[in-house]
Structure 1
Amino acid sequence: MRFRERRTDPTNGSPRQRVAAQIREHRTRAGMSVTELADVVGYSKASMSRFETCDSPVPEELCPKLDAAFGTNGLFTALFEMLRGVRFPDRYLEYMDLEKRRRRRLRPTNAHSSEQPTPALRTKRSVHGSRPNR
């Protein structure tokens, strides 16, 4: 049974998306299936599929193997350098952006305002300073 391939968008600015798109582009240009590429570089088909869809980060040791498989003279090794500064998977970027906007809304708009964000709820123990009697 064939499944529908998920496509990565290399134009969205994400380094992971660009690396994944390059892997897929070079693989299809070479006329290889995911399984064939996985066999050549020594990874499982599932892992290669996850690398191409950005579901898993591309490991550094894979890049020289991809360069050797495609004859790209260090392209994937150079692309990996872009990934060094990427701390979080793409799937979390939207949530991080939403959290950043939420925090901006909680900040006081007036620099002289004494309003502080509402403190977290205190537990019974922290309010009374000791354990309640039993």
Structure 2
Amino acid sequence: MDDMFQNFGFRHAKTASKPMAERPLLTPDLEGESVDKTFYRSMIGSLMYLTASGPYIMFVVCQCACYQANPKLSHLTAIKKIFQYIKGSPKLGLLYPKNFEFDLYAFADSNYGSCELDRKSTSGGC
């Protein structure tokens, strides 16, 4: 994880207490300043890799991933906040033991039509 922070310039960044602000919601931001698509996509890819052991960031990462085709500065700012949150909570995550049998239970919650932007379903899980 230290390599990831180094690659994206977050080695000495301050930390955040939550991965994304509840409001305002991310929007397409059609008039915002464009950012480098390749850099944005590589940041999303690194975060998607982390969701395997840290499902608590899945929702916010997927929200930011929706704007990979035309990322704006507001979307990059949201990605940076996620990295700051991860930096401040390095011990959070799931540990999958390889020498022990264990039962993994999952729970999901769907909220149909609650997304104010496009009225699509959102879901959460644990």
**Structure-2-length-normalised TM-score:** 0.30
Structure with the higher strand share, 1 or 2: 2
Structure with the greater relative contact order (CA < 8 A, sep ≥ 6): 1 or 2?
Answer: 2
Structure with the higher helix share, 1 or 2: 1
Q: Could you say which structure has the larger radius of gyration?
A: 1
**Structure-1-length-normalised TM-score:** 0.29
